[in-house]
Amino acid sequence: MDSRRFGKYIVEREVLDEQRLEEITQRKTHSDNQSSLTERLKDSLRCTVPKLKHSVMSSLPVLYWLPKYSVWDYGMPDLISGISVGIMHLPQGLAYAMLASVPPVFGLYSSLYPALIYFFFGTSRHISIGTFTVLSIMVGSVTERLAPDVNFLIQNGTNVTAEVNITARDSYRVQVAVATTVLGGLIQVALGLVKFGFVGTYLSEPLVRAYTTAASAHAVVAQLKYIFGVSPTRFSGPFSMVYTLKDVCSLLPHTHLPTLVVSAVSMVFLIAAKELNSFISPKLPVPIPVELITIVAGTLISAYTHLNRNYTISVVGEIPSGLSPPSVPDASLFGEVIGDAFALAMVGYAISISLGKTFALKHGYKVDSNQELVALGLSNAVGGFFQCFSVCSSMSRSLIQETTGGKTQMAAVASSLIVLLTILKLGPLFQELPKAVLAAIVFVNLKGMFKQHSDIVTLWERSKIDLMVWLVTWVSTLLLNLDLGLAASILFALLTVIFRTQMPTYSVLGNVPGTELYVDIETHREARDVPGVTIFRSSATVYFANADLYIEALKEKSGLDISKMIIYKKRQEAKQRRRERRAERRAKRQAKKERRAEQRAAKHLSGAPVFSVEEEAGSWRNTCVDGDVMDREQQGCTERENGTVFIIPTTPRTPDRWEYLKGGEPDCTSLGSISELQEGDTTTLDSSSDDTLSRDLERISLGSLGKWSWDIHSIIIDLSTANFIDIVAIKTIKNIIHDFSEIDVDIYIACCQAPVVEQLELGDFFSETITKRSLFVSVHDAVLYCLNHRGATSIPRYEPSVDTYDGTKL
C-alpha cells in the first residue's frame, strides 16, 4: 500500500504496474493465446450436428423464420404491403431501365428475379430489392461507353445515314449490363464469404449522400434528351456530363415542342399528386400509387390520340410478353467492366446495409452484414443470368413496405407476383407509353436526392472535415464520372483519416484536485500540474506515420530539446575532465614548488645558499601560467554578456544532475561568491559554436516557458488512445526512454491496452533496463510511483489552491 499526500488529500492504495497486474489477474501469455487459437481452429474444423444446423440456418435465413411464420398475424399486412410495393415496381422498373440504357422490359425483369433470390438469403425483413436510380445510372454509363450509337449506324453503300440499328445496339447493351451485373454480384458473394462485410463501412454517410446527390445530377442530364425531344451526342469518361450538358444546351433551339408539353404536364401532375398524397396519406391505409396512375393515364392518352404517329413523340415500343430463358453472360466483357462492377458492388451494398440496419434498429432485430453481402451478390449474380441489371434496396419502396405494415419478406413475394403478372399479360399494353412520361417520373423521384444539398449547411456547423469529404465526393463524381468519382472519393476519405492520425492533438495532463482524474491543462482551469512530473498524451495511436511527430511534440511539451542538451552535457563533461586534469597538473606543480622551497630553506639554514637561474626561471614561468589561468577563470563570469551559465554539482548524490540558468548579464553574486566555489565548478562558453548552442538552448529550453530551473524528473506517456503499436513506434518509445535517461529523466508508460502490451512483448520492447515495472495500469498509479520514487527528495510539496472538489470544476 502507498500512502501519499496528494495536494491536501491522503491517498492510500496499492500502486499497480503491469507486472503486478499480471500476478493478480493471471493474464494469459502470448503462448497461451497461440494454444487457444489452435484449439479454436480445431474446434471450427470439427463437424457436429448443431454446427451443421447453425451453418445451414445462417446461410439460408428463410429456414429460420418461415416455419414460424403466422399467416393469421402477418399474412394480410404482408399482402397489402406487397401489392403496394409491386405497383411501385412497375413504373420504376420501366423508368430506371431507360437510365440503364436498356429496353424497359429488362427493368421489369430486374424487379422480379432479384427480389425472389433475396427472399431466401436476406436477413432484413423490410427492404425492397429492385431497381435503384444510382445503380441504373452507373449501369447506363457502362453500356453507353461500350456500346455507343456511333458503333451501330446503318450503312447504305458508301454513305452513312443518321439511322441507328436500335435492335443490335440494345442487344449488345443488354450483354454489357448483364456481364457487369454478374461480375459485381460475384464480387459481393466473394467478399461476403470471406467475412468482408465491414468493407461497406469505408463508404461513410457523407460520402454516400454526396455520391447519390451527384449521381442524381447525372440522371437529370441523361433524361434531358427525353424531356426536350432532342438527340445529343453521348460522351463517356471524365467531364462527360459537362460535354453532354453543353451539347443539350446547343440543341435547345431544336426542342420538340409536343414532347416538351407531355413532359411538363406529367411533371406538374406528379408534383401536385405527390404533395396531395403526402398530406392525406396519414388518413389512408395505403398511399395513392401516383406513378402508376401517371403511366396508365399517359398510355391511354397516347394510344387514343396516336401521339407517336401524329406528333412523332417517342414511345416505349414493343414490350415482349412472357419470360426470357436464362443465358450465360459474355465472359469476354469482364475485363472491360471489372472496375465498374466493383463500384456497383460497393455502392449497392452500402445503400442496402444502411437501410437494412435502420429498419432493424427500429423494429428490434439483427441484420448480418456478411450474409447481406452474400444475399445481395446472389441476387445480382443469379439475376444476371435472367437479363437483369444491378439492383439494391430502394429507399422509397422500402419505406412503403414498412409503413404499409409489412412484417417479413413475404411482402417481396407478393410484389414479385404483381410484376410477374405484368410481364406475362400486361406488358404489351404499355407499348404506347411516351418516354417523356417515364423521364418525368425519374425527374420527380429525384427530388429527395436534390434535397441532400442541405447537408452542406449541416456539415459546415458540425464537421469541416466531413464537409470536405462531401464536397470532394460531389465534385469528383460530377466531373470524373461515377466510377472514377467513387474511387477518388474513397481515396480522399481515407486520406482524411490518415491526416487526422498523423496530426493529432498532443496535450499535457494535470490532476483534478481530490480525484484520480487527469485532464488537459490547457482546456481545464482547475487541473493542476503534478510537481516534477510531465504527463503526455496523444489523441491518436502511435505508428510509423506519426512517430517522428510524436517525438517532436514530446520535446515541445516537455520544454526540452534532448538532442542539443545531450550534446551540451557531453561537452560540459569533457570540459570538466579537462579542468580536473589541469587541476591535477597544477597540484603537482605546486607540490614541486613547495619541495624546492623547502630545499632552498634547508640550504639557507645550513648557511650555504645556492642561486640557480634555471630553477628561478621555471618557478617564474609556472607562477605566470597559474596566474593567467586563475585570471581567466575569475573573469569568466563577466566576459560574456547575455550569457548562459551551467552549474554542474559535484555532490555524489546526483552526479549527473545539472541545472540551467537563464540570465541577461550574469552576476557572480547570483550564483554565489566565486571565492566560495571550488576550482572548476564554474565555466562559460568561450567559443563561437558554444555561444550559438547556448543561445539555442536559451530559446528552446524551459527558460522560454518562464521556468528558471529544470525541474522535471519523470515523464509519463499515456497510451490509452493506442489500440495497436507497430515496430517503428516501439523503437521510437525505446529511443525516448534512452535519450531522456541521459539527462536523468525517467520515462513511464500508463494505460496500455492488453493487445498493446502483447505487441510490446513480441517487439522485444522489454529488457533488463526496461521492465514491466515501468508500465502502469493507470496514470494515477504512475504518478503515485513517481512521487514516491523521486518526488520526496527532489520536489517541493504540492499544495493546490482549491481545497474542495464538488464535481463541477471540469
Task: Output the CA torsion 69→74→76→82 (10° steps).
Answer: -80
3-class DSSP state for residue 406? coil
Cα–Cα separations (whole angstroms), residue 452 to 165, 481, 493, 639, 678? 40, 19, 19, 73, 79
Cα–Cα separations (whole angstroms), residue 373 to 334, 368, 486, 490, 500? 21, 9, 19, 19, 30
For the residues of 141-163, what is the DSSP string, one character each? HHHHHHS-GGGGEEEETTEEEEE
Collect all residues with Cβ–Cβ distance below 8 Å to 360 and sequence separation of at least 6: 124, 125, 366, 367
| CA gap 201, 711 in Å, rounded | 48
3-class DSSP state for residue 657? coil
Q: Choose among 84, 110, 134: nearest CA to 399.
A: 84
Give 69's strand partners: none
CB 267 within 8 A of CB 436: no
| CA gap 364, 531 in Å, rounded | 53
Rg of the chain over Cα atoms, rounded to whole angstroms, equals 41
3-class DSSP state for residue 623? helix
CB 254 within 8 A of CB 277: no
Tell me: the pLDDT tens digits for 146-170?
A: 998 888 888 665 555 568 888 999 9
- Positions in the chain whose pLDDT score sits under 70: 1-13, 26-37, 40-41, 44, 155-162, 606-710, 791-810
pLDDT number for residue 483 = 81
Residue listed under C-alpha cell 565555466: 683
pLDDT number for residue 382 = 96
Tell me: the pLDDT tens digits for 284-305?
A: 877 888 989 999 999 999 999 9
Which pairs count as long-range contacts for 771-774, CB under 8 Å and 24+ apart, including other chains?
771/19, 772/17, 772/18, 772/19, 772/22, 773/17, 773/18, 773/19, 774/17, 774/737, 774/747, 774/748, 774/749
pTM over 0.85: no
> What distance lies between CA 127 and its chain's CA centroid?
28
pLDDT number for residue 608 = 52
For the residues of 496-561, what is the DSSP string, one character each? HHHHHHHS--EEEEEEPTTSS-EEETTT-TT-BPBTTEEEEEESS---TTTHHHHHHHHHHHHT--
